[in-house]
């Protein structure tokens, strides 16, 4: 999936993936992670998600990463947030109180920045990536987060042959494989949402589940002396 694909979607306003409300599953399950207020939460491929507003209101520092500058600008403008900018090797940093968004490539975010994130929230990042990019993404981001990080991952599970993504289907077997080297991915909620999604219905999709995973660092294996 080339960067230009997403930049064009934002330029053309074809952003059906953007939600105009806080994600209910985030509100339901985030408190169960027990993350301390004030810690930094990574939100990869964040777009202009209102979920970042909610996380900041809970007392967390939010670090989003988004390729499309238009999305970042719209986020701060639509939420009437004063913003300051600065440049780094990772891109342009837009900062407003507890929320910071790096306008740049997620693969350009360095290990020190990722390592400072104790939390992670992924609603639309993994499912936006084609199969060939997912392992690199998961290892680059989740393999470098804080050693005791905890997070939520939301995926979609549907017959991929029935609809060309994005958003793509990422079945449980693939989630487990992608994260197995460094993280635990525990499915804590699965629900059928096909009746609530006319777009998928109109495309002839016969099954559509959304799955919530709790993510945490897998303990390193103990090696014999």
Mean pLDDT of 37-57: 96
Q: Is the pLDDT of residue 165 over 90?
A: no
89 lies in the same domain as 143: no
Q: What is the pLDDT of residue 221?
A: 47
pTM above 0.95, yes or no: no
Q: What is the pLDDT of residue 148?
A: 96
110 lies in the same domain as 144: no
Within a domain: 26: no
Q: Is the pLDDT of residue 206 over 60?
A: yes
Q: Is the pLDDT of residue 223 over 70?
A: no
Number of separate domains in the chain: 2
What percent of the chain stands above pLDDT 70? 92
- Residue 217: which of 187, 180, 183 has the closest Cα? 183
Q: Report the mean per-residue pLDDT for the chain.
A: 92
Last residue of a domain, one of 58, 82, 117: 117
158 lies in the same domain as 68: no
Annotated binding site for S-adenosyl-L-methionine: 10, 45, 66, 123
Neighbour-count burial of 175, counting CB atoms closer than 10 A to its CB (0-12 exposed, 13-18 middle, 19+ buried): buried
Q: Is the pLDDT of residue 224 over 70?
A: no
Cα–Cα distance measured from residue 45 to residue 17, given in angstroms and rounded to the nearest whole number? 12
Annotated binding site: 10, 45, 66, 123
151 lies in the same domain as 201: yes
């Amino acid at each position: 999936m080339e960067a230009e694909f997403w930049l064009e979607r934002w330029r053309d306003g074809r952003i059906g993936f953007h939600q105009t409300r806080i994600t209910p599953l985030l509100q339901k399950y985030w408190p169960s992670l027990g993350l301390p207020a004030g810690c930094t939460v990574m939100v990869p491929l964040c777009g202009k998600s209102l979920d970042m507003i909610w996380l900041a209101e809970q007392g967390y520092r939010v670090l989003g990463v988004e390729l499309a500058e238009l999305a970042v600008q719209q986020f701060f403008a639509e939420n009437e947030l004063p913003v300051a900018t600065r440049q780094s090797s990772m891109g342009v940093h837009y900062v407003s109180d507890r929320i910071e968004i790096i306008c740049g490539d997620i693969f350009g975010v360095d290990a020190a920045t990722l390592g400072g994130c104790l939390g992670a929230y992924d609603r639309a990042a993994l499912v936006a990536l084609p199969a060939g990019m997912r392992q690199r993404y998961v290892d680059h981001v989740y393999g470098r987060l804080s050693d005791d990080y905890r997070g939520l991952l939301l995926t979609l599970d549907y017959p991929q042959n029935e609809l060309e993504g994005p958003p793509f289907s990422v079945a449980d077997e693939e989630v487990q494989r992608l994260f197995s080297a460094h993280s635990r991915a525990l499915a804590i909620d699965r629900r059928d949402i096909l009746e609530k999604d006319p777009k998928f219905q109109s495309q002839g999709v016969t099954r559509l589940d959304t799955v919530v995973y709790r993510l945490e660092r897998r303990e390193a294996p103990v090696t014999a002396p």
